[in-house]
Structure 1
Amino acid sequence: MTTQTKTTWRKVKLGEIGEIITGKTPLTREPKNFGGYFPFITIPDLKDQRFILKTERTISDIGAQKMKNLKLPANAVVMSCLATVGETGITTKESFTNQQINSIICDPQSVDYRFVYYVFRRLKRRLQKYDGSVYTNISKSKFADTEIEIPSIGDQKRIADILCVFDDKIELNNKISRTLEQIAQAIFKEWFVNFKFPGHEKVKMVDSELGKIPEGWEAKSWGELESESLAGDWGDNTESTEAPRKAYILRGTDIPALQAGSKGECPIRYLSDDSLERRKLKPGDIVIEISGGSKGQPTGRSIFITQEILNRFELPLVCTSFCRSVRGNGILAPILMYLHLFRLYQTKKIWNYQLQSTGISNFQYGQFNKYERLVIPDKIIQEKIADTLYSYIEYGHLNENQKLAALRDLLLPRLMRGELRV
């Protein structure tokens, strides 16, 4: 790549390089409209998905027929334009979106759809300025009239190829991280749920309140395994004598990004000296989301804090008031506590501790603390496996996504301004 003068680029409106479609939600009182082959894309589905492979809801053949004029083909580029502006993604098969999303079916003679995706990544701030707010409404006509600059189709493809290299590697790293977590979960299940640990054939099974468990093991409540459990602190937006200390604040929405190897979008806030010293996270801590779930997604997401996570931040990391940090007392290895909690979430047993109110789901931590029972292996078994499981989780956190994303985001504006020749 070399620097260049931007002489071969031209201004076009989005409506000139493809067909603009605004989505729609079929009647929800007619269940036959939902549950089928076609992805139904909403704003939450655009989080951390460049290519949209999975959506919370789908549209049936009946629903698709009613909205046939709004059907998107594969490789359409979508952007949220109502409520939250700027989330974007690329369809991978015939799909539909709700009314919060505008999409463009790109004319392949004019533009490369991957190039348009990266243009959309840069459009977010511009579109928000229509009324100066993050929460706004970009109508179909405003969206179609939005001007962008594009080079030749050949240069578009070359720019997209460069940027895709970074995102392809980030997505591969994410896949490796998920695989390592799945391996840790599989080992945990085999040893501590199915009791098929090495040498189990020689261990007698005895009765307990949880059913048959290996002799020498015992059952305890979650609360009996804690040395400390603290609600988080959202802190203040500005520095003051009462809140002079800066820290990154970990929210439930940041958990997937941290597990995938980045810093997420954790904001910097100001805390009191006492709050920061009490709440700053350390390796081995577990953070649990206790508020903010929805009808379809329970609270209870969790993350195991490793040194690799903390190394990404130049300031202390504290969880928000909608989360809770837990520190074990040594009876059960913290990694085993985390994997038990993670398994509850994956198997949806976490729903047993949800309290739904005004559309928001809250995690009943007090009930969980008292009634959730865990099997406690003897120390020899714990020592045999805890370090191995910890290494799987830590290695999953140890990837280069943060550096890759930073380099991609450094190149993106220069490539899109035509400052680099490709």
Structure 2
Amino acid sequence: MYPHQTIFDMAINWDSQRIPVKASERKKGPYPYYGAQGIVDYVDDYIFDGFYILVAEDGENLRSQKENVATLASGKFWVNNHAHVISSKPHCNTKYIFYALSDIDFTSYITGSTIPKLSQASLGNIELPCPSLEVQDAIASILGSLDDKIDLNRRTNETLEAMARALFRDWFVDFGPTRAKMAGEASYLAPELWELFPDRLDDEGKPEEWETSTFDHCITILTGGTPKTSVPSYWNGNIPWFSVVDAPTESDVYVLDTTKKITQDGLNNSAASILPENTVIISARGTVGKLALTSGNMTMNQSCYGIRGSNGYGQYFILQALKNILNELKNNTHGSVFDTITRQTFSTISTTLPSLRLAQHYESMVSKYFERILVNCQESRTLSRLRDLLLPQLMSGEISIRDAEKMVEDVA
């Protein structure tokens, strides 16, 4: 058991340097503008330059703690007055304090019945384990190595997804190869691929012989359902049940797990059905336009659609095609209470469909990107679980530094 100190003893508070700026007065720029729950904008100037911890001063997340209350911020950035700004004193490690804050329940420190608030005094009185600086450095290094790998996976996935998106846009939106042929430019694709692109655009501005069709021509739409919540035997099973809260980030793409799961009885006694792996899910009611790929068999609620390619069009092609028409889908929603994408909405959106051979070439080329994205997502989930397992044990001294390092080495 390590001795404890308060945040007042372990860290310097920099709140007096915060400057809020109204959205209407901000000038766009390269520097992050932080609020209570991370970056809310980018501005043309900064007030901090270094390595700091930002701790939410107000907001519902203080009570629910669904997301981290503390955030690490480094480099040049701006902070409004909804986040406390602290950094370590000489006998402490800033990253260690961040991880220690990630392991506590803030409930007893917050005030306010309507809007939860963590005052500067309450923050300062929080007690944290305070081992020697050497131990703090080691703990921060162990947990930081896991987070660094998770962040590397995230950035790799962003790059891979951007590559798949850029290729789709060049081939099927901007018609780059056809335009290059018309301009007499040299081929930038393999000869067998280059030959598949038409030599000119037609009167509609699309490559000759490509089809203009409604989007529903190339997809099959699957619907979801919700088992009765009043029947306990329908819930807490092993069948993942997707709702919009389970949507991944755009770069991660794949949904690996869901907040709620249903039983086989729940599946059999509801409108829910099993979605095969690599089904594209789109949220269609309330929060519309969230996209995900299923990483395995799962089901979903009735506020979403499962989209499968038809007539030979593959799932990665369909995912990118959906992203290309997403704004149009959102602009064509219906509903007096909630924005809703209906099945008919897909039949109102026109799209250009290339030859099936080209679409299948695209599918083949980007499949390796998405396979790598899935592996990275699965690895990050494993690393995240290990970090969450080690965090309280390291803070309490329950596990030794060496044993923790060995566990990290085993999964590296």
TM-score greater than 0.5 by the shorter chain: yes
User: Which residue of the partner structure matches residue 17 of structure 1?
Assistant: 10
**Contact residue 33 and residue 59 of structure 1 kept, 8 A:** yes
* Matched residue type, 2:390: L
The superposition leaves residues 162-202 of structure 1 with CA deviations (integer Å, 9 ceiling, x where unpaired) of 11111111111222222221222222223222432723487
Asked if residue 327 in structure 1 is aligned to residue 308 in structure 2, the reply is yes
**Structure-2 residue corresponding to 1:221:** 214
Instruction: Report if the CA contact (8 A) 1:261-1:402 is conserved.
Output: no
Give the CA deviation at 1:161. Answer: 0.9
Judge conservation of contact 1:300–1:363 (CA < 8 Å) in 2.
Answer: no
Give the deviation of 1:365 after TM superposition.
Answer: 4.6
SS in 2 for 1:256: coil
Of the three residues 265, 268, 275, the one matched with 1:281 is 275
Confirm whether residue 416 of structure 1 aligns to residue 398 of structure 2.
no
Please, which of 79, 83, 87 is the counterpart of residue 101 of structure 1?
A: 83
Partner residue in 1 for 2:385: 406
Partner of 1:168: 148
Amino acid in structure 1 at the alignment position of 2:139: I
Structure 2 CA distance, aligned partners of 1:344 and 1:20? Answer: 47
Aligned to 2:42: 58
The 2-side partners of 1:134 and 1:119 are apart by: 27
- Please list the CA deviations of residues 10-30 of structure 1 after superposition, one character each: whole Å capped at 9, or x if unmatched: 2111122223355978463x7
User: In the alignment, which residue of structure 1 is the partner of 2:160?
Assistant: 180
Cα contact 2:222–2:305 (8 A) shared by 1: yes
CA distance in 1 between partners of 2:134 and 2:103 (Å)? 20
Question: 49, 55, 58: which is aligned to 1:79?
Answer: 55
Q: TM-score, normalised by structure 1?
A: 0.75
Map of 1:3 onto structure 2? none
Determine helix, strand or coil for the equivalent of 1:214. coil
* Structure 2 letter corresponding to 1:16: D
Q: How does 1:213-292 map to 2 (within 5 A)?
A: 213-215=207-209, 217-230=210-223, 232-233=224-225, 239-240=231-232, 247-256=239-248, 260=252, 266-270=258-262, 272-274=266-268, 278-291=272-285
1:82-129 Cα offsets, whole Å, 9 max, x none, are 31024232112343434443332322x021111111112212xx1135
Alignment of 1:299-310 (within 5 A): 299-305=288-294, 309-310=295-296
- The residue number in structure 1 matching 2:126 is 146
**Residue 317 of structure 1, aligned match among 291, 298, 313:** 298
- Match of 1:222, as an amino acid? F
Residues 284-319 of structure 1, C-alpha deviations (whole Å, 9 max, x = no match):
3111133455xxxxx4231233xxx22xxxxx6333
Tell me: CA distance 1:172–1:41, structure 2 relative to 1, closer, same or farther (3 Å): same
- Aligned-pair RMSD on alpha carbons? 3.6
**Percent of aligned pairs sharing the same letter:** 19
Structure 2 length-normalised TM: 0.76
Q: 1 or 2 for the larger relative contact order (CA 8 Å, sep ≥6)?
A: 1
- More off after superposition, 254-263 vs 180-189: 254-263
The residue type paired with residue 151 of structure 2 is E
Q: Is the 2:246–2:258 Cα contact (8 Å) retained in structure 1?
A: yes
Per-residue deviation, residues 308-335 of structure 1 (Å, max 9, x unmatched): x22xxxxx63334443222232353232
Out of 335, 340, 352, the residue aligned to residue 321 of structure 2 is 340
Taking the aligned partners of 1:357 and 1:111, their CA distance within structure 2 comes to 55
